[in-house]
Amino acid sequence: MRPELSILVRLQGIDLEIRKFNKEKAELPERLHALQERLSARQAELEGLKERLSDVMVRKSEVEDELELETERMKKSQQKMTSVKNNREYQALLKEIEEIKKSNKTREDEILELEEEANSLKEQIAQKSKEIEADTKETKAEERHLAKAQANLDTKIAELTRERDEVADKVQPELLAKYRFLSDHRAGVVVAAVSDAICSACNMNIPPQMYNELLRDEKILTCPSCQRLIYALKVEK
């Protein structure tokens, strides 16, 4: 392998490591984001439960007030029955009292239903609050883990970047520019080995004449299929 390619192979190895660590760094927040979304969803559910409980308690208070007023009205009607002067008035009061009793029974049933719903909502709120407390602890722990992992990767990337710059300084500017162009367009794989006239990067055949020239290792050649810089991989027999 020509010395220039040997340096590029080393540079490529460093760049691929940097790419790998940057990919890991980009993927790190995924679990945290999932935890944050779950926490936000549960907080929204909790707020919904609290709002429903508030509505239930308001409605319960309204029905209780209605029941109290109608009960008082019924008592007054019952008192009037002792002083009615004719059967017509008596029957009218009797009908009024029965209607109030019927309406109050409906109100009492609604109050019981509202109480049951309120108790159920309170239990759900207590359970949801426990879930949120656990989620909050897990999210904070993940935030600490993420910060530590990111710092660790940043250190590795910084070290590799310094090493990369030192190696890149040894490459001729024109060849380095070509390397960078290919790196951007070939997912970081710029230099590829050729074995038995097959490019290891794209798995395409190298023409016989070019392969013979590659074996002589007199100059840098590029794969006619993927345009990567290539070198012959010599297998010891």
Write out pLDDT tens, residues 176-209. Answer: 999 999 999 999 999 999 999 999 999 999 999 9
How many H-runs (helices) and E-runs (strands) does the chain carry? Answer: 5, 4
Tell me what pLDDT residue 234 has. 73
Distance, in Å, from the CA atom of 129 to the CA atom of 124, rounded to the nearest integer, reads: 8
Tell me what pLDDT residue 83 has. 87
- Phi and psi angles of residue 234, each rounded to the nearest 5 degrees, phi first: -90, 125
Tell me what pLDDT residue 237 has. 47
Give me the DSSP letters along 32-50. Answer: HHHHHHHHHHHHHHHHHHH
Tell me what pLDDT residue 101 has. 95
Centroid of chain to Cα 92: 68
pLDDT digits (tens, 9 = 90+) for 3-54: 999 999 999 999 999 999 999 999 999 999 999 999 999 999 999 999 999 9
Band the pLDDT of 235: cuts 50, 70, 90: low
pLDDT digits (tens, 9 = 90+) for 129-172: 999 999 999 999 999 999 999 999 999 999 999 999 999 999 99
Residue 117, pLDDT > 70, answer yes
Distance, in Å, from the CA atom of 149 to the CA atom of 97, rounded to the nearest integer, reads: 76
Residue 1, pLDDT > 90, answer no
Residue 98, pLDDT > 70, answer yes
- Which candidate, 90, 69, 70, places its Cα nearest to that of 80? 90
Evaluate whether 197 touches 205 at the Cβ level (below 8 Å).
yes
Centroid of chain to Cα 211: 50
Contacts of 153 (CB under 8 A, 6+ apart): 21, 24, 25, 28
pTM score, whole prediction: 0.70
Tell me what pLDDT residue 225 has. 96
Tell me what pLDDT residue 236 has. 52
Q: What is the mean pLDDT of residues 104-116?
A: 97
Evaluate whether 195 touches 202 at the Cβ level (below 8 Å).
no
Distance, in Å, from the CA atom of 206 to the CA atom of 222, rounded to the nearest integer, reads: 10
Query: Whats the size of the chain, residue-wise?
Result: 237
- What CATH number is given for 21-168 in this structure? 1.10.287.1490
For residue 70 the two structure tokens come to: 């109608």
Domain locations along the chain: 21-168, 173-232
Residue 88, pLDDT > 80, answer yes
Q: What is the mean pLDDT of residues 215-229?
A: 94
End-to-end CA distance of the chain: 18
- Phi and psi angles of residue 232, each rounded to the nearest 5 degrees, phi first: -80, 130
Distance, in Å, from the CA atom of 53 to the CA atom of 62, rounded to the nearest integer, reads: 14
Half-sphere exposure of 106 (CA within 13 A, CB side): 7
Tell me what pLDDT residue 114 has. 97
